[in-house]
Chains A and B, each alone.
Chain A
């Protein structure tokens, strides 16, 4: 009767993605989208060579892969559960496959693209 749920796997990814989306994303948006273009970071802080150097390093690659893929898992999990809140109750399995499949696809794509840089 009490079948163990596999939800902890997705909830953990959701939680990790939540930390990224809530704490790192606003900082990244500020740095790359506002402070950089406004010149608040000093000359050449976000220059092509410098960013390429960062993304080309193992740490930089790992950072980008985690930030991007965990955000995928976070968003997909949230939308999947919100769909239940909105009363979409049929074909939950297929819906889960669609959303988590999308997050998995996003993760693979991120790894391929980021690994190929530099």
Chain B
């Protein structure tokens, strides 16, 4: 086993109980635009322990087997949202997915579904970022506050209205899970709609009317058919499907009540 791991790995393995390491086949989606006409898969044999994540498997490949492999990662602890991949066909954060759960089968790693691939496992996130910017994902104060005004207090009930939606880490797993986004990427998508709700549901925010224009559009909440897979794959316990459904109600009220309320008073 030591020989198979190569000289660079020997030192590390000496004190990680090499004998216990098993090997798993990781099948990786490869696409290097400078010399590949189309993507292909390559299989690598990777030693792993019980606590080896899929991300660490990829890092092993890059460090020891093929340095040209490209993938995004940063924090290794499900906080940064960078390392989302399709793992055996399901959207996962590769840092919180473990090789032991796939052994003795193989692991197939692909870039997140529904996004254009730039290189290997790296997708182009521009569409998501453009939509995120479009909802102004920050608090718009009702009126400017001076430091002397002190903190803007909220009751526990006001906090509960938006707290879960504020846990989003922009990892895009919900976009890879959403069949509607896959069919038509004009759809605003689960993550951005959940974040939109996070600000609209915040008692300190004053930009709801502006964001409702995004909600009310065909590409807003009405592009969703409530499949619900987005909420299943979210690694942070956010329920985008709930955010969308609450906003279907908001949008319906907005649709009918606009005939009854004077202009400018609607929220």
Contacts and interface: CB of A to CB of B under 8 A. Distances in A.
Interface string B182-212: 0110000000000000000000000000000
A8 B184 contact: no
Interface stretch (A22-30, A31-39, A81-89, A109-117): A81-89
A90 interface: no
Interface string A51-75: 0000000000000000000000000
Contact of A4 (B179, B180, B183, B217): B217
A43 interface: no
A2 interface: yes
A8 B248 CA distance: 8
Interface in B153-190: 179-180, 183-184
A89 B183 contact: yes
A87 B248 contact: no
Tell me the interface secondary structure of chain A in the complex. Answer: helix
Interface in B220-245: 220, 222, 225, 227
Given A2-B213, A85-B179, A87-B183, A8 B218 contact: no
Contacts of B259: none
B179 A9 contact: no
Contacts of A9: 255
A4 B258 CA distance: 12
Nearest to A87: B183
Given A3-B218, A84-B183, A85-B179, A8 B255 contact: yes
A5 B220 contact: yes
A5 B217 contact: yes
B238 to A, nearest CB: 23
Contacts of B219: 2
Contact of B216 (A4, A81, A85, A87): A4
Contacts of A82: 225
B252 interface: yes
A11 interface: yes
A5 B179 contact: no
A84 to B, nearest CB: 7
Contact of A11 (B179, B184, B220, B248): B248
A73 B219 CA distance: 22
B53 interface: no
Contacts of B184: 89
Contact of B218 (A5, A12, A85): A5
A49 interface: no
A68 B98 CA distance: 52
11 contacts: A2-B220, A3-B217, A3-B218, A4-B216, A5-B216, A5-B220, A7-B218, A8-B252, A12-B252, A85-B180, A85-B183
6 smallest CB-CB distances across A and B, nearest first, come from: A8-B255, A8-B252, A7-B222, A2-B213, A5-B218, A2-B217
Given A2-B213, A85-B180, 14 more contacts: A3-B218, A4-B216, A5-B216, A5-B218, A5-B251, A7-B222, A8-B248, A8-B251, A8-B252, A9-B255, A11-B248, A11-B252, A85-B225, A87-B183
